[in-house]
Structures are given as structure tokens and as C-alpha cells.
Amino acid sequence: MMKDDSQASTSIWMTTADTPSQSRLKESIRTDVCIIGAGIAGLTTAYLLGREGRSVVVLDDGLSGGGMTGRTTAHLTNAFDDRYVEMEKLHGEEGARLTAESHTAAIEKVSQIVSTENIDCDFEWVDGFLFLAPEHSIDLIDDELAASHRAGLVEVEKVARAPIESLDTGAALRFPRQAQFHPLKYLDGLMKALLRDGGRMFALTHATKIEGGSPARVETSHGPVVTSDVVVVATNTPVNDRVAIHTKQAPYVTYVIGMRIPKDSVTRALYWDTGDPYHYLRLQRENGYDVLIVGGEDHKTGQANDGQERFARLEQWTRQRFPQSLEAQYHWSGQVMEPVDGLAFIGRNPLDDDNVYIATGDSGQGMTHGTIAGMLLSDLIQGRKNRWEDLYSPSRIRLKSLPEYASENINVAGQYADYVTAGDIKSESELRPGEGAIMRDGVSKVAVHRDQNGDVHRLSAVCPHLGCIVSWNSTEQTWDCPCHGSRFSAEGRVYQGPANTDLSPVEEMK
Ligand SMILES: Cc1cc2nc3c(=O)[nH]c(=O)nc-3n(C[C@H](O)[C@H](O)[C@H](O)COP(=O)(O)OP(=O)(O)OC[C@H]3O[C@@H](n4cnc5c(N)ncnc54)[C@H](O)[C@@H]3O)c2cc1C
Ligand code: FES
């Protein structure tokens, strides 16, 4: 079992992967490239640069794979989740074509790495099927088919129904040559290859300060400093950027269940419906049976606290469509960053030194976006041209995405009203073990948690990023910020940015 993050739930991948044996950075070092974050984006970048002979150091404040890469459902797809119709509107026909080309290339790259490095990670080529949610009409399928073809995916076809015996989906789109894998076993393979090529990985090492320049400097929590020619911040959402990127992407929590079903009772493929939020499905084999993995029920981070109801709705949705479902064996959730124009931000960090790079804005496609990050950043760092550079540039502003930009930022501005509202509870005695809530304390707000032993922990409820008030996530036992998605353990330890410091302890209430 591999589990080292702050969330209470456990994904199927954590249950079925070994815990890597990694240690912390103990002395200051110099390297060519320092990469912060050992998820798919950081480790793919590290692996590809290591292959080219660059000396690479990877730092992570947990263990590798302890971030969202351990909580994904690992569909590897070029069936863009914001749709090619939308990509054309936002990025033009050429932008949509490059989007399709880059995601297709990312799937091929994963397949090539798996075979070159002989990584035993359940990699499998499968078809993907997009089918209609009840509220949508066939026009959506026809329009997306035409847009996919214009984007260069000429093998996408309309079929009479997705190959699900128990569910007549009606007409669907078939995307050939999609893939799936076990993300943590894949990361383990990348890590072994990186170490073989001379790369170094240090876990349990929090990057506290990141500065570009010559050399770049990364200060870490226990004192040692890494100096390098180049620094890559692959922390899922940048912890070195206070504002620029965070107004251009919005954090959403998404939920997953794993239902045990009889072996081979559902055709092995990736499936999505067109709902908003949409459902996403795939299969994973376990001893003697299959697990049908079903995700959806997304909401903006910190703006709902009803995870158990969302799991129940996912289960009901699944049982109605897959009556052979047995028990729900897995329940977990995670966070995705939704960029306002659908595409990840990969490249030089805006308003920073030229040798600081970021990869973020993964949306529901972080497996391919993370792999694209590896391909694109290794080209930029090695001084090569890459034709995806402008498409993914973190500095880009697409005028057509301004309505989405405005709506997400009005939502953020609205969160500051939490300063003047009452608390969720009036007295700590209202909290049962395992619960958390916000209390008003004079003019301040305090995040109060009662642990399973009955002891009460008090923290400032003010997010150290830009000062929004955090809220309690009872499913994951975390404090989540509704503004830009910083997340903290029940004890206040930061484990997802953009905040890069913990919630401050409050000794006594006034
Ligand atoms: C439920 C769910 C389902 C998903 N399904 C899919 C899917 O089917 N297909 C798909 O393509 N994508 C999917 N995604 C998205 C995808 O999983 C993510 O986008 C991707 O894993 C992100 O990878 P990453 O490398 O950017 O970040 P992460 O994997 O989160 O890695 C970032 C790392 O940075 C470390 N870190 C952070 N701050 C610091 C610091 N200050 N110092 C040191 N280390 C630090 C963290 O510990 C972490 O290990 C899904 C996501 C979720 C949550
Ligand atoms: S994440 Fe920006 S204020 Fe909390």
C-alpha cells in the first residue's frame, strides 16, 4: 500500500502499489535542472532530460506519486474533455489541430517509454467512447465528430451505440487508440530509469523558496539548498506564483468509485458521457474480477461538503446502467485545475526569470498534459523549438476565454464575503470526533478540528495564499480553500498549492 498524502481516502492505485523507499535531501547540492514535484509532469520531464544526459534533481515534499497522479483514473486520451468544437472557438482551427496532435503524441510517448523501459504498469490500448447525457441531443455528437476530423483525428467515427450491453447509449463517438495504465507503477518505472541515468530524487523535502537567476536557487524545509541552471515547478499548481496563473485556472474536486463487477462483463474501453460535470469510466483487472471505475460529481473546491452524497449518487448512476455491479470497493476524490481556455499552462513562468518553468492547468487530462509537459519542457530547456510552445504558453490570453475568466474570478471575489459571515458553529462542543468547522473569534475566523481522540486543534482559517477563508472537507478530513484550491491536512499542513506554508496555529480563542 502506497499512501502518504493528507487525504483520508485511498485510490485503487495506492492499494495496489508498493511504497517507494526514498529519503530527504540532507545537504546542499548543485545540478543542471532542479524539478519540484514528483508527479507525472515532473517525473516525465526529469526522465526525458536524464535520457539526454542532463543532471537532474527531483524534490517532493511527500513521496513520488503522492499527489494527484496517485488519485487519477489514468485515462490516456486525445478525446478532449472540453471538446474540439470548443477548442476551435477558443484557439482557432490550427490550435485545435495542435491540441489533438500533442495529446496523440503524448499517448504514443507513454507507450514508447513503457516498452523502452519495460515498465510493468498494465498499459493497454483501448477504444474510447463518448456518449450523450440525457439532456443532450445528437447534434452534439455530429458537431464533435466534424470538429475532431478537422482537428486531424480522421479515424474518429460515429457508432450506433457504445459497446455496453446493459445500456443503450444511443449514437456515440469512437476514438481509436486511446490507452490506460496503472499510474503509480508507471511512475515507479520512470523513477527507476531516472536513477539509472544518474538522476537524483529526494522525498519529504518541501521547497520553501524558489528563485530564478544565475544560478537558480531552491531553499528547502530542513535547510539544504539546491542550485541549478534551470528550475521546473511541477507542483500541480505553481507554488512560486502568487497571482498570474491562479486567475486563469479554477480548482475542482472530483469523485471516484470502484465497483466490483464480474470479469469481462463490460467491454474494456474508456467511456465518457457529455454531462456537466461528466461521468468518466474505465476498467481495471483485479484477482478474478474487474473493477469498474466511475468518476464525476465535480464541484468547485471548498464550495460543497457532501462527498458521501456524491459517492452515493455515483453508485446509483452506475447500478442503474450496470446492473451486474457488486459492491462499491473503492471511494476516493482528488482535485483538478481547470484552465479557463481548456489547455494546460506549460512553459516559462510569466513575470519571472527566464530559467523558471511551470506545468499546470491539467484539467481532467493531466496524464497527457503531464506527458506533453515533459516533451515540451525538455525541448525548451535543451534550446529546441517546439511547435506546441505558443499553444501552451503560460503567458497566453485568449480573448474568447474572457467570459469564463470573468465568471471564475467573480466566484473567487465572492468568497471573501466569508470574512463577515457567522461561523459554522458557535462552540467547540458542537464538534464530534473527526469533524471540523469554522468558528468566529471576535473579528477573526478559526478552523477548529476535533481528532478521533477527542482533542481539539485550532488553526487560523485564513489561507496563507491570498487570504480566503478555508472550509472543512469531511470526506477527506482536510481544510480546502475555495479561492484557488490550496489544501491543508486536518493539522494545517499544506499539501496542495498555491499556498506554500501551513495554516497558523491558534493557541487560544479570545
Ligand atoms: C479523481 C481524478 C481523476 C482524474 N482522471 C484523469 C484521467 O482519467 N486522465 C487524465 O489524463 N487525467 C486525469 N486526472 C488529472 C491527473 O490525474 C492530474 O492532472 C495529474 O496527475 C497531475 O500531475 P502533476 O504531476 O501535475 O501533479 P501531482 O501528481 O499532484 O504532483 C505534484 C507533486 O508536487 C509535490 N509538491 C507540491 N508542492 C511542493 C513543494 N512546495 N515542495 C515539494 N514538492 C511539492 C506534491 O507532493 C506532488 O507529489 C484526474 C485527476 C483526479 C483527481
Ligand atoms: S488558494 Fe488562493 S487564497 Fe487560498
What amino acid is encoded at 146 in this protein? A
251: its cell numbers: 480548482
Strand partners, 252: 300, 336
How many Cβ atoms are within 10 Å of 385's Cβ, its own excluded? 7
Give CA–CA dist 140/159, Å, rounded: 14
3-class DSSP assignment, residue 93? helix
Give CA–CA dist 200/17, Å, rounded: 21
Give CA–CA dist 226/236, Å, rounded: 20
Rg (CA), the chain: 22
The Å distance, Cα 498 to ligand 2 centre, comes to 7
How many Cβ atoms are within 10 Å of 504's Cβ, its own excluded? 12
The predicted pLDDT at position 419 comes to 67
Does the C-beta of 300 come closer than 6 Å to ligand 2? no
Contacts of residue 341, defined as CB under 8 A and 6 or more positions apart, other chains included, come to: 90, 91, 248, 396, 398, 400, 401, 404
Exposed e or buried b per residue across 436-464, where buried means at least 16 C-beta atoms within 10 angstroms of its C-beta:
bbbbbbeeebbbbbbeeeeeebbbbbbbb
The Å distance, Cα 276 to ligand 1 centre, comes to 22
Does the C-beta of 470 come closer than 6 Å to ligand 2? no
Greatest alpha-carbon pair distance for the chain in Å reads: 66
The predicted pLDDT at position 325 comes to 97
Strand partners, 243: none
The predicted pLDDT at position 3 comes to 52
Give CA–CA dist 446/467, Å, rounded: 13
The predicted pLDDT at position 403 comes to 75
What amino acid is encoded at 245 in this protein? I
Does residue 270 contact residue 320 with C-beta atoms inside 8 Å?
no
3-class DSSP assignment, residue 346? strand
The predicted pLDDT at position 109 comes to 98
Does the C-beta of 233 come closer than 6 Å to ligand 2? no
The predicted pLDDT at position 416 comes to 66
The predicted pLDDT at position 259 comes to 97
Give CA–CA dist 293/296, Å, rounded: 10
Who lines ligand 1 at CB under 6 A? 36-42, 59-62, 66-69, 71-75, 206-207, 234-236, 239, 254, 256, 280, 295, 334-336, 362, 364-368, 370, 497, 500
Give CA–CA dist 129/176, Å, rounded: 9
Query: Exposed/middle/buried for 177, CB within 10 Å: 0-12, 13-18, 19+?
Result: middle
Please provide the distance, in angstroms rounded to a whole number, between the alpha carbons at the two ends of the chain: 43
What angle (nearest 5°) sits at the alpha carbon of residue 60, between those of residues 243 and 24?
140
Q: Within 13 Å, how many C-alpha atoms sit on residue 401's CB side?
A: 22
φ and ψ of 234, to 5 deg: -115, 50
The predicted pLDDT at position 426 comes to 82
Strand partners, 254: 334
Does the C-beta of 109 come closer than 6 Å to ligand 2? no
Does the C-beta of 249 come closer than 6 Å to ligand 2? no
pLDDT by 10s per residue, the chain, length 510? 555 567 899 999 999 988 888 899 999 999 999 999 999 999 999 999 999 999 999 999 998 889 999 999 999 999 998 999 999 999 999 999 999 999 999 999 999 999 999 999 999 999 999 999 999 999 999 999 999 999 999 999 999 999 999 999 999 999 999 999 999 999 999 999 999 999 999 999 999 999 999 999 999 998 999 999 999 999 999 998 777 788 888 999 999 999 999 999 999 999 999 999 999 999 999 989 999 999 999 999 999 999 999 999 999 999 999 999 999 999 999 999 999 899 999 999 988 889 999 999 888 899 999 999 999 999 999 999 999 999 999 998 777 777 777 777 777 777 766 666 777 878 888 899 989 999 888 878 899 999 989 999 999 999 999 999 999 999 999 999 999 999 999 999 999 999 999 999 997 766
Cα dihedral 448, 453, 454, 457, rounded to 10, equals -20
Exposed e or buried b per residue across 101-131, where buried means at least 16 C-beta atoms within 10 angstroms of its C-beta:
bbbbbbbebbbebbeebebebbbbebbbbbb
Does residue 207 contact residue 308 with C-beta atoms inside 8 Å?
no
The predicted pLDDT at position 75 comes to 98
The Å distance, Cα 480 to ligand 2 centre, comes to 9
The residue assigned the cell 530564478 is 212
3-class DSSP assignment, residue 190? helix
3-class DSSP assignment, residue 68? helix
User: Interhelix angle for 84-116 vs 138-150, to 10°?
Assistant: 60
Helix (H) or strand (E) holding 292: strand 289-300
- Note the helical H segments in 117-217: 138-150, 183-196
Helix (H) or strand (E) holding 60: none
Q: Whose CA is nearest to atom 2 of ligand 2?
A: 484
DSSP state of 88: H
Does residue 259 contact residue 325 with C-beta atoms inside 8 Å?
yes
List the beta strands (DSSP E) in 363-504: 436-441, 444-450, 456-460, 471-473, 478-480, 487-489, 494-496
389: its cell numbers: 510552445
Does residue 103 contact residue 78 with C-beta atoms inside 8 Å?
yes
Residue-wise DSSP of 26-54: -S-EEEEEEEE--SHHHHHHHHHHHHTT-
Q: Whose CA is nearest to atom 31 of ligand 1?
A: 39
